[in-house]
Amino acid sequence: MFRLTRLHTGPLKTLAIRTVVRLYGVDLSEAVETDPRRYPSFNAFFTRALRPEARPVASGAGDVACPVDGTVSEIGEIDDGRLLQAKGLRYTVEDLLGGGGDPRVPGAEAFHQGSFATLYLSPRDYHRVHMPLTGRLAGMVHVPGRLFSVQPGTVRAVPRLFTRNERVAAIFETEAGPLAVVLVGAIFVGAIETVWAGLVTPPRGRVLTRVTYRVTAPDPGAEPLVLPRGVEMGRFNMGSTVIVLFGPGAVEWRPDLELGTTVRMGEAIGRLQGARL
């Protein structure tokens, strides 16, 4: 699938794009490129850029911006280090983030009793992932694994699905404390990118790999990598799931967000604790 979506197949590629647009109701008028014929490959269409005015980013003091277009799969508190996957199914922060790690990178314990939001991206959604808050990159973890579907029915049926699938977790330091943005792979989604490392997967492996990006580059005068709220930090090359983690007492989620709520990248999905309304 990785190879097929990158083929420059002319009319066949355009037919595939038009079919997906029709079947899933993709709104190409929001894209920078609105003509299906002008995308060099199917993957270029799937990772299309949007016009800046199509997704205004929340700018209020203390606003937490939604990192993706998608649907709320679960949202709430991290109870004793465990997150809700679906009714009756839970998994741990340690398993999600891969366990262990570099002392310079906040580990799973930093998110115990914190808050989480799980956001599902369907094939119709915009597939770039953006920053919920301004953050300094502390490190990144790549956890090889399976590629189960992350559609709602599968999430309700497969125990610990998000800790069994391949994933990339980016850990940031923010004004609200540690922030983790976890990009979970899925069926046909063995290709996850970040803006600082490029294509992280594939290849997929069987051994847990931790890659930590230093606060400074080899040049002692280099600046740390700081990504402002709303800028792109990564992307999926097909649809999948993003899980956002905050530490204890950091954020309050918007009270109207519940299972099945549709969200758009850039809209406020929460506020920092103590932020003025």
* Domain extent listing, the chain: 1-54, 55-272
Distance CA 168, CA 184 (A): 7
pLDDT of residue 146: 78
> Which among 73, 115, 149, 240 is annotated as catalytic?
240
Average pLDDT of every residue of the chain:
83
35: how many CB neighbours lie within 10 A of its CB?
10
Q: What is the DSSP track for 11-76? A: HHHHHHHHHHHHHHT--GGGBS---GGG-SSHHHHHTPPBPGGGSPPP-STTEEEP-SSEEEEEEE
Q: Token digits for 105?
A: 């990178």
pLDDT, tens digit (0-9, with 9 covering 90-100), for 76-99: 999 989 998 877 789 899 989 876
- Specify the amino acid at residue 249: G
For the chain, residues with pLDDT lower than 70 are 1-10, 99-104, 148-149, 151, 187-190, 202-222, 237-239, 274-277
pLDDT at 217: 30
- Given the residues 115, 130, 142, 149, the one annotated as active site: 130
Report how far Cα 151 is from the mean position of its chain's Cα atoms.
15
Catalytic residue list contains 130: yes
Q: Which residues of the chain form beta strands (DSSP E)?
A: 63-65, 70-77, 82-86, 89-92, 115-120, 128-130, 135-143, 167-174, 177-184, 192-194, 198-201, 209-211, 226-227, 232-236, 241-246, 251-253, 262-263, 268-272
Please confirm, yes or no, whether 69 is among the known catalytic residues. Answer: yes
Query: Distance between CA atoms of 65 and 133, rounded to whole angstroms?
Result: 7
Instruction: Indicate if 149 belongs to the active site.
Output: no
Residues in the chain: 277
Q: Report pLDDT digits (tens) over 239-264.
A: 689 999 999 999 999 999 999 999 99
Q: Which of 69, 73, 115, 142 is catalytic?
A: 69
Residue 223 confidence (pLDDT): 73
Which are the contacts of 32, defined by CB distance < 8 A and separation ≥ 6?
48, 49, 50, 51
| Three-state SS at 105 | coil
pLDDT of residue 8: 57
